[in-house]
Amino acid sequence: MTTNLRQEERRLLYYIAIYLAVGVLALFLGEQELKGSYQLVISNHKISFYWFMIILSLGTVAAFWLVSAYWRLVRFKCDPYLLPIAASLTAFGLVFLFRLRPQYAERQFAWLLIGLLALVILTTLLRKLDWLADYKYIYVASGVLLLVLPIFFGKEQYGARSWLNLGLFQIQPSEFVKILLVLFLASFLAENGRFLTTGANQILGVSIPGIREWGPLVAMWGVSLLILVFQKDLGTALIYFCTFLAMVYAATARLFYVLIGMVMFFLGGTLAYFAFGHVQARVDIWLNPWPFMDGSGYQIVQSLFALGSGGIFGSGLGQGMPNLIPAVHTDFIFSAIGEELGLLGACAVVVLYMCLVFRGLMIALAAPNDFYSLLATGLTALMGLQTFIIIAGVTKLLPMTGVTLPFISYGGSSLVANFVLLGLLLNISHEVNEGNETKY
The 3-class SS string of the chain reads: CHHHHHHHHHHHHHHHHHHHHHHHHHHHHHCHHHCCCCCEEECCEEECHHHHHHHHHHHHHHHHHHHHHHHHHCCCCCCCCHHHHHHHHHHHHHHHHHHHCHHHHHHHHHHHHHHHHHHHHHHHHCCCCHHHHHHHHHHHHHHHHHHHHHHHHEEEECCEEEEEECCCCEECCHHHHHHHHHHHHHHHHHHHHHHHHHCCEEECCEEECCHHHHHHHHHHHHHHHHHHHHHCCHHHHHHHHHHHHHHHHHHHCCHHHHHHHHHHHHHHHHHHHHHCHHHHHHHHHHHCCHHHCCCCCHHHHHHHHHHHHHCCCCCCCCCCCHHHCCCCCCCCHHHHHHHHHHHHHHHHHHHHHHHHHHHHHHHHHHCCCHHHHHHHHHHHHHHHHHHHHHHHHHCCCCCCCCCCCCCCCCCHHHHHHHHHHHHHHHHHHHHHHHHHHHHC
Residue 140 has pLDDT above 90, yes or no: no
Among 69, 81, 98, smallest CA distance to 16 is for 81
pLDDT at position 28, please? 76
Q: Identify which has the larger pLDDT, 170 or 428.
A: 428
Least confident of 28-42, 382-396, 401-415: 28-42
- pLDDT-based confidence at residue 46 (cuts at 50, 70, 90): very low
pLDDT at position 79, please? 93
Which residue ranges make up each domain of the chain?
Answer: 131-275
- pLDDT-based confidence at residue 72 (cuts at 50, 70, 90): very high
Q: What is the pTM of this model?
A: 0.90
- The average pLDDT across 166-190 equals 84
C-alpha 274: how far from chain center: 29
pLDDT at position 158, please? 56
- Going from the C-alpha of 324 to that of each of 239, 250, 342, the distances in angstroms are 28, 42, 17
pLDDT at position 65, please? 95
Among 53, 49, 55, 28, smallest CA distance to 37 is for 49
CB 180 within 8 A of CB 139: yes
- pLDDT-based confidence at residue 156 (cuts at 50, 70, 90): low
Q: Identify which has the larger pLDDT, 57 or 223.
A: 57
Whole-number average pLDDT of the chain: 83
Residue 291 has pLDDT above 90, yes or no: no
- The average pLDDT across 12-38 equals 75
Residue 159 has pLDDT above 60, yes or no: no
Residue 203 has pLDDT above 60, yes or no: no
- pLDDT-based confidence at residue 103 (cuts at 50, 70, 90): confident
| Highest mean pLDDT, choosing among 82-86, 223-227, 230-234 | 82-86
- pLDDT-based confidence at residue 330 (cuts at 50, 70, 90): confident
